[in-house]
């Protein structure tokens, strides 16, 4: 007998099916509630609402657990590579050697963008935020592959998957090159994913760029840590757009836009700007934390707090270690890292943060690494997007294949004016 919960409403007893996940997570299935009772559920920000059943990523925010397809993030971070993780997320299993070789081959074969795509960049102001440019260019790719836009055609989806994975580093690096007025670099397919990106960012046609393998490895690690995070804001956006059977390019462009926001992926840029400000003001962080706690002040400790994690974000721990590794390797003493560590220590001992269970999240230390290796601040969120791409793709594919999936269309409780009559302009 499937388990149910009983809801007593207006004297009527309603049986709500209980859905249980493989890790014991429980949900009440309320999909028939409105047709049975006329009531909907109200949940601002979907704090308590499951939008789908998914077999991709498991998070236990109370215990600080994150797993992709069952594999702990710590193990993947130590032993895997970003493209292997991308395969795992998209295909569901770790690849065999021939499968991985084929996947890498397909991705490295499609790194160039159509020459006409480059012309879009000249239309953007030099100061344009690269997230805006990337969202626009990714959306525009759909105009170049018009025969491959059917979300229900598996071959088309595979075609688009390879092209998106292959081209996003090229698209991202061109947004930077355009902003500084340097020529675009063609990809070098003999390099690994991240080394290729770094070369396109920092090499010029007159001077080559030697990729530091330690840096490339750390950046690969960061991509793994960002690769998926179940139904966060940008992923839910990708699913929502895709639920209308919109093509994958357009859905991913929407995800990039959602990620840009300062409360989401944009926080990594905001963290470094916050640390810069604290450094310039000569504050040790104490005054800044007081402002974050002040109800009359909207300042937040960026890179802290999470909707799901009420314990350490496991990614933040790994990134903090990587941060020390990179700075040691480069021989850099970072005042910003010192401030970040001080802020973290103070916050973790402060009753305001303890009571609200606010811990460092994935964005708290990543910007310090990016800055140390010379990535411009406004490109930080773009790097997040490169990492999150396989997660978005896998979630979008899972939804397209889910026989239960329907177009995303939340309800509302209307609180506006009741019926009234139109008043002509001259009588208002």
Q: What is the CA radius of gyration of the chain?
A: 23
Residue 304 found at the interface with ligand ACO (CB under 6 A): yes
Tokens found for residue 210: 């030697």
**243 lines the binding site for ligand ACO (CB under 6 A):** no
Closest distance of CB 148 from ligand ACO, Å: 30
Cα–Cα dist 164/137, whole Å: 11
Residues in CB range of 227: below 8 A, 6 or more apart:
68, 82, 85, 86, 89, 387, 388, 390, 391
Which residue in the block uniquely carries the two structure tokens 């920092």? Answer: 202
- Closest contact distance (angstroms) between CB of 258 and ligand ACO is 10
* Residue 94 and residue 101 in contact, taking contact as beta carbons nearer than 8 Å: no
The reply to whether 178 belongs to the active site is no
Query: Binding to ligand ACO by residue 301, rule CB under 6 A?
Result: yes
Residue with the shortest CB distance to ligand ACO? 305
Q: Can residue 286 be called a binding residue for ligand ACO (CB under 6 A)?
A: no
| CA-wise closest residue to 229 among 61, 63, 82, 365 | 61
Asked if residue 306 binds ligand ACO (CB under 6 A), the reply is: yes
CB of 47 to ligand ACO, least distance (A): 7
- Taking the complex as a whole, the smallest distance from the CB of residue 233 to ligand ACO amounts, in Å, to 7
DSSP 8-52: EETTEEEEEEEEE-TTS-EEE--TTHHHHHS-----GGGTT----
> Which among 59-67, 199-207, 296-304, 395-403 is the span making contact with ligand ACO, rule CB under 6 A?
296-304
267 binds ligand ACO (CB under 6 A): yes
Q: Give DSSP secondary structure letters for 341-377.
A: HHHHHHHHTSHHHHHTT--B-THHHHHHHHHHTT--G
Is 306 considered catalytic here?
yes
Does residue 265 bind ligand ACO (CB under 6 A)?
yes
Q: Which letter does DSSP use for residue 56 in this model?
A: S
CB of 360 to ligand ACO, least distance (A): 9
Query: Which residue is catalytic, options 220, 228, 313, 363?
Result: 363
| Residues forming the site for ligand ACO (CB under 6 A) | 45, 232, 263-265, 267, 292, 300-307, 356, 358, 361-363
As annotated, the active-site residues are 306, 363
């Amino acid at each position: 007998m499937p388990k149910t919960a009983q809801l007593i409403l207006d004297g009527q007893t309603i049986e709500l099916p209980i859905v249980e996940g493989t890790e014991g997570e429980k949900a009440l299935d309320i999909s028939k509630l409105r047709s049975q009772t006329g009531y909907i559920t109200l949940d601002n920000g979907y704090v308590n609402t499951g939008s789908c059943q998914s077999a991709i990523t498991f998070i236990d925010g109370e215990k600080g657990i994150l797993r992709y397809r069952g594999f702990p993030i710590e193990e993947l971070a130590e032993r895997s590579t970003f493209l292997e993780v991308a395969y795992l997320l998209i295909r569901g299993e770790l690849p065999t050697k021939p499968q991985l070789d084929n996947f890498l081959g397909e991705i490295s074969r499609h790194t160039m963008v159509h020459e006409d795509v480059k012309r879009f960049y000249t239309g953007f102001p030099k100061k344009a935020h690269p997230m805006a440019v990337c969202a626009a260019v990714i959306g525009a790719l759909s105009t170049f592959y018009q025969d491959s836009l059917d979300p229900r055609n598996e071959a088309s989806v595979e075609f688009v998957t390879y092209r998106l994975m292959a081209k996003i580093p090229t698209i991202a690096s061109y947004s930077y090159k355009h902003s500084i007025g340097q020529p675009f670099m063609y990809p070098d397919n003999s390099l690994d994913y991240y080394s290729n990106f770094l070369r396109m960012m920092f090499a010029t046609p007159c001077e080559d760029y030697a990729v530091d393998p330690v840096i490339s490895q750390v950046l690969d690690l960061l991509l793994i840590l960002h690769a998926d995070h179940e139904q966060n804001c940008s992923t839910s956006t990708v699913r929502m757009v895709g639920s209308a059977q919109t093509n994958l390019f357009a859905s991913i462009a929407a995800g990039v836009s959602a990620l840009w926001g300062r409360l989401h992926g944009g926080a990594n840029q905001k963290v470094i700007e916050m640390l810069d400000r604290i450094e310039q003001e000569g504050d040790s962080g104490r005054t800044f934390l007081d402002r974050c706690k002040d109800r009359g002040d909207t300042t937040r400790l960026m890179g802290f707090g999470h909707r799901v994690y009420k314990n350490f974000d496991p990614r933040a721990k790994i990134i903090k270690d990587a941060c020390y590794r990179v700075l040691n390797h480069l021989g850099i003493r970072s005042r910003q890292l010192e401030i970040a560590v001080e802020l973290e220590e103070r916050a973790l001992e402060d009753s305001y943060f303890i009571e609200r269970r606010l811990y460092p999240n994935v964005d708290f230390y990543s910007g310090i690494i990016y800055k140390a290796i010379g990535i411009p601040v406004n490109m930080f969120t773009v790097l997040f997007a490169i990492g999150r791409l396989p997660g978005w793709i896998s979630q979008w594919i899972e939804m397209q294949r889910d026989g239960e999936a329907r177009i995303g269309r939340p309800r509302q409780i209307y609180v506006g004016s009741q019926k009234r009559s139109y008043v002509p302009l001259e009588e208002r």
